[in-house]
Structure 1
């Protein structure tokens, strides 16, 4: 209008109204049309009558326009999408994606869903390692290849993100919700996919109580946006019970693992796609499949096979061709998992007596306990352990400081090659109501039991002083010991079938400890006390209750030798070529003063640090030039001290009698 205002006419309804600013026309029309449509069929809105001269001006609502070749024009991507993810279809070609192996026939059925306008939201259901994420990457590549062949058919882009990326950096109230609304606005009616990774993650409540799914799922229900998500079968069942509405927009696609007999063929195709310089003999492939089936039950084919091949390629010299035979495959798999070759290879015997001797190298005075624990390893070696439960469930019962925790460490060293594979939980920290929930927490920066076992399924889990735990913890143990699994706070299953579960307990030990070495009390009935303290269903899930006896004087002397050997191998002494020489009477002095009936041998380490290593550290700090010398440790007033020459007397550590 000449005045600068705008007259807006809607001929179908006979409307005409004047507005000062054209930018508010959309809101005015929305309100007016909503009111009108309450009494009229929506299709009537599009039956406009001709009202005088008409003209068309260019208006782009933010959609993507096609060029003359049928492809998409280069447009500025919405900033919010660049912030929270990456577009997979444009990365699918040109070597920017990992090697992928897929079934072309299966991809054609997926393509039918993608061609739909708008694309059908998809929920991929399958176990870990079955290839859910890889299937999405394959779909992106398949779409990119079809665009080369068919430039007329509209195929969607795939934007990849996750719940963590969506909320990253959103620290103030309402920030992540605003970002979600921007994501919906950027993808509205664009006929593209938003791949959100795990369905349970977007349904998990944020600190304010709402979830990402509360904003994305309704838009998917109305087909404003299209989603791709993934979950396991157990997570799907949980969602069907707790969030049935969240599943409405999705078409569920179940992905099954290939049978073991077909895995060697998949592995050959994968190596061919990667142009790998490492080849595996057919007998070696069958051997590898057997190892993966037996020792990695937490994951499925083909993912666990591909991960091993990726690791194997990284270990070799780049570009150097080599062929692995069955023995080579077993040795490589032992390095890959940390499992000892003698436990995974049928060609190498591992008798119970041999395994018990390895355990006794680090555990003093508990020969019977080592033999019982070695029996669990022998059963694992023979493949006779229950595949649906942990490798072994052991309860170590006995006084404090007699080697229960040390046997757990030695089991971790023997079974997994390193004591770092032991997850130790002090049950005195889980005594209060609600503390069991901390075992199941997951998320960035959390080091709960569920998170640590998911990251390293081949571990030894030690529940220290189990009798102190809250009853809720025992409820969790029923699932771990009986079914080999734990459900985390997001409803995902954590696999415990490749763990060894150890528990320690002081039940049955009298509060008034006898004095002296190796004293025994007939009233210490570990089995009766444990049976009375544990519920029958939990007690019956324990494979072995292993009693530990008190240490004798000879046992403590052996422990002194072990601790001194560790001290003598410290970097500060080795670097200067210094030798620690401890006289027999000094060893006896340390054994006598480092043992307490109530604490066992636990004070021994502190005593060696205070009486032996601390004086040596002071001496070395004062004399930086001291090298290649002998450092005697003697008892004050002993014959050994009197026999020291002047040159050694200045270097000696004297223990006061």
Structure 2
């Protein structure tokens, strides 16, 4: 009769009351003492071992308790972001860790409902601190107090006799029979306890039963290698997991005492070869992994499938895909994976002989009625399991917003993910009903777009719109008019949904407000909720050679600067600064971006620009005319220079050319007042409660020193720093003023007078 050793983490709740948590499970018991807790857990484990001995085995052996204080800086949540507090809190973390049956370590943090695997015992402290800080960093002080342990915890160990040990002694252990595979892949389906602790929301392929059954038949009856193809978010992963669970359940129901039960092993090509130290090692590792799969009848579930063509040798012909081809041809292994249509096209181009060993199952996006049914099923689940109600109009609003604005993903995935985020926000705010306002607030956080664009009942106030840009863009009335036109078209939903929101060329001499206008547009369009600033700026003078295209869009394993930024911030303004300095090959690369709103790299990875505004700045035509003032003829000269420089197919893809003309002295004077007002917002002024007053002579000095017909307002910043900021800094350092009004004057030299 076999004996298993288990561990329970215990702590006192109050006098005479003890709580115990069975390590590696969801079981918690509250009783008068630890002895009673052990008795209850022992009884439960006896029942579990009889039902399913394999899943009820202990998760770790020789467990140890680590009690570690973690220093955390909490913060307060506001609509425009998270503001950290000045002080830090110390939260004590209780973690239990030990070696698992697969030969590496596993750590559980019951108070945080978190667990992780690791390989080096010396890293346990750093990993505990890392995982706990990831949870704590977005919490307020009130929320952090929930994680303060009521008392010092301790570890109780106890043994349970397995009455069904005769059955389990002959039970198949894939980890022991496949030692190499088990180190680089996770077994699926997971144990019941792991499934319960993994996700708060269900992993279910609603409304996809026909496709699931089709995949099950191909895996079981045809023993086929399978590629599930569909756009991002269409439900490929959920369908595959549902099919794998069905395959496992079907085999278990057919013969519950079968030793060699089929499991699926999830890994990636990079993980398979990660242990290779020397050239040629990866082939030996692959051979061992594939041998393990054959021995246990395992199915390889590959993620990041396109790595198959980049991992191993220098190209697809000597990659891990080429190495595995003979195994697939001889049907010695079985592989399942998923790809997007673009990735499949690229894979067939890179190594067609490899792809021919797979059967392709295409998954199309659901109809509107099916999508709403999926959301309704999700709503029923949350109401039943989580006691959260989602109103029907709210589900329809989610569908409408995602349908219009989130084009880079498909339904139902993007709806389920977004709804999950909304429900997580409800947990934090202790609400029980999700309504339209909650959804709009969450969508603002996701996209940064103002409520004006999301709520059809809100009408644009044209006076406020014009005022917003006029306060930020000085002396460029025509540019403001064209920028406002873009906003009006987008608000009415008349922009082309299959292209970027707008593609514009800002032309004109340096220092006239082109970059300031781009910043203002980014702030208005996407600056209301995102954590990162929504402006992506690329200096095109860095891309003057055709070989530098790879730095822009990526090549092989490397992701380009442009594609990385847009994937992180799909709702943004992309600025190609001084576009004419880039190599002409860059312009050809951007043609599909301007025309179709997408960019596909060498390995089929898609970057979506349809939620971006693309702006290019150029000084073309500026040298021929530098005089101040507005002249329609100058506008034509700028446009003519741009037309002459760029090829017609590139120029014709621009929605508009916005010409910025040289600034006159009155415009520079307005900019001076604006810049001086912004000095009052700096920390050194605000923290000392100072008010600034500037004499007319200071304005005249800055106008004289900061205005240049050739460089526009560029010298102005230097003049303000030299004559105002540096003099203020000297005065504050010497006199330490507080709660006072400082009068700054200029008579032969700068003078500052303090008035209470």
- Assess same fold via TM > 0.5: yes
C-alpha RMSD over aligned residues: 3.0
Q: Which residue of the partner structure matches residue 63 of structure 1?
A: none
Matches within 5 A, 1:87-236: 87-91=187-191, 94-98=195-199, 99-102=202-205, 103-116=208-221, 119-146=223-250, 149-150=253-254, 151=256, 156-168=262-274, 172-204=278-310, 208-209=314-315, 210-236=318-344
Q: Which residue of the partner structure matches residue 575 of structure 1?
A: 687
Q: Distance in 1 between matches of 2:248 and 2:184?
A: 22
Q: Distance in 1 between matches of 2:428 and 2:706?
A: 54
Q: Distance in 2 between matches of 1:91 and 1:584?
A: 77
> How far is 1:619 from its partner?
4.8
Pair 1:217–1:309, CA change in 2 (3 A): farther
Q: Distance in 2 between matches of 1:161 and 1:555?
A: 61
Tell whether the 8 Å contact from 1:507 to 1:530 is kept in structure 2 after alignment: yes
Q: Distance in 1 between matches of 2:234 and 2:573?
A: 26
Q: Secondary structure at the match of 1:76?
A: helix
Q: Distance in 2 between matches of 1:269 and 1:84?
A: 36
> How far is 1:369 from its partner?
0.6
Q: Distance in 2 between matches of 1:193 and 1:630?
A: 76
Q: Distance in 1 between matches of 2:672 and 2:275?
A: 53
Tell whether the 8 Å contact from 2:178 to 2:296 is kept in structure 1 after alignment: no
Tell whether the 8 Å contact from 1:80 to 1:183 is kept in structure 2 after alignment: yes
Q: Distance in 2 between matches of 1:163 and 1:632?
A: 67
Q: Which residue of the partner structure matches residue 472 of structure 1?
A: 585
Say yes or no: does 1:636 pair with 2:742. Answer: no
Of 176, 180, 185, which aligns to 1:85? 185
> How far is 1:614 from its partner?
3.1
Of 515, 526, 530, which aligns to 2:638? 526
Say yes or no: does 1:427 pair with 2:540. Answer: yes
Q: Which residue of the partner structure matches residue 406 of structure 2?
A: 296
Q: Distance in 1 between matches of 2:462 and 2:601?
A: 36
Matches within 5 A, 1:329-344: 329-344=439-454
Show CA shifts across 1:54-87 (max 9, x none).
xxxxxxxxxxxx9689963465264443443322
Q: Which residue of the partner structure matches residue 514 of structure 2?
A: 404
Q: Distance in 2 between matches of 1:92 and 1:180?
A: 30
Q: Secondary structure at the match of 1:509?
A: coil
> How far is 1:434 from its partner?
1.8
Pair 1:635–1:182, CA change in 2 (3 A): farther
Q: Distance in 1 between matches of 2:707 and 2:220?
A: 76
Q: Distance in 1 between matches of 2:556 and 2:354?
A: 22
Q: Which residue of the partner structure matches residue 654 of structure 2?
A: 542
Q: Distance in 2 between matches of 1:318 and 1:356?
A: 38
Q: Secondary structure at the match of 2:500?
A: coil
Q: Secondary structure at the match of 1:188?
A: helix
Q: Secondary structure at the match of 1:481?
A: helix
> How far is 1:352 from its partner?
5.2
> How far is 1:518 from its partner?
4.1
Larger Cα Rg: Structure 1 or Structure 2? 1
Q: Which residue of the partner structure matches residue 463 of structure 1?
A: 576
Matches within 5 A, 1:353-372: 354-372=464-482
Tell whether the 8 Å contact from 1:465 to 1:504 is kept in structure 2 after alignment: yes
Q: Distance in 2 between matches of 1:112 and 1:69?
A: 32
> How far is 1:286 from its partner?
1.4
Q: Secondary structure at the match of 2:190?
A: helix
Q: Which moved more, 1:308-317 or 1:95-104?
A: 95-104
Show CA shifts across 1:587-645 (max 9, x none).
3322331222222212222332333333434554566x65323343321348x95xx76
Q: Distance in 2 between matches of 1:425 and 1:283?
A: 42
Q: Which residue of the partner structure matches residue 719 of structure 2?
A: 607
Q: Distance in 2 between matches of 1:212 and 1:589?
A: 69
Say yes or no: does 1:269 pair with 2:377. Answer: yes
Relative to the length of structure 1, the TM-score reads: 0.80
Pair 1:300–1:518, CA change in 2 (3 A): same
Tell whether the 8 Å contact from 2:426 to 2:434 is kept in structure 1 after alignment: no
> How far is 1:341 from its partner?
0.9
Show CA shifts across 1:140-182 (max 9, x none).
4334544553426765312212234345475643344443333
- Aligned residue pairs: how many? 576
Pair 1:373–1:262, CA change in 2 (3 A): same
Pair 1:510–1:141, CA change in 2 (3 A): same
Q: Which residue of the partner structure matches residue 284 of structure 1?
A: 394
Q: Secondary structure at the match of 1:317?
A: helix
Q: Distance in 1 between matches of 2:726 and 2:283?
A: 57
Q: Which residue of the partner structure matches residue 252 of structure 1?
A: 360
Show CA shifts across 1:21-53 (max 9, x none).
xxxxxxxxxxxxxxxxxxxxxxxxxxxxxxxxx
Matches within 5 A, 1:35-114: 72-73=172-173, 75-76=175-176, 78-91=178-191, 94-98=195-199, 99-102=202-205, 103-114=208-219
Show CA shifts across 1:305-327 (max 9, x none).
01111211221235844334445
Q: Secondary structure at the match of 1:225?
A: coil
Q: Distance in 1 between matches of 2:667 and 2:424?
A: 46
Pair 1:147–1:609, CA change in 2 (3 A): farther
Show CA shifts across 1:90-128 (max 9, x none).
2466414432222444333322233248x4221010001
* Stretches of structure 1 lacking an aligned partner (at least 5 in a row): 1-65, 652-657
> How far is 1:208 from its partner?
3.8
Q: Which residue of the partner structure matches residue 377 of structure 1?
A: 487
> How far is 1:262 from its partner?
2.0
Tell whether the 8 Å contact from 1:87 to 1:159 is kept in structure 2 after alignment: yes
Tell whether the 8 Å contact from 2:537 to 2:575 is kept in structure 1 after alignment: yes
Q: Secondary structure at the match of 1:596?
A: coil
Instruction: Please state which structure has a larger fraction of its residues in strand.
Output: 2
Q: Distance in 2 between matches of 1:580 and 1:443?
A: 55
Pair 1:426–1:74, CA change in 2 (3 A): closer
Say yes or no: does 1:482 pair with 2:595. Answer: yes
Q: Distance in 1 between matches of 2:620 and 2:174?
A: 72
Tell whether the 8 Å contact from 1:67 to 1:73 is kept in structure 2 after alignment: no
Q: Distance in 1 between matches of 2:631 and 2:273?
A: 60
Q: Secondary structure at the match of 1:87?
A: strand
Q: Secondary structure at the match of 1:95?
A: helix
Pair 1:464–1:206, CA change in 2 (3 A): farther
Tell whether the 8 Å contact from 2:668 to 2:707 is kept in structure 1 after alignment: yes
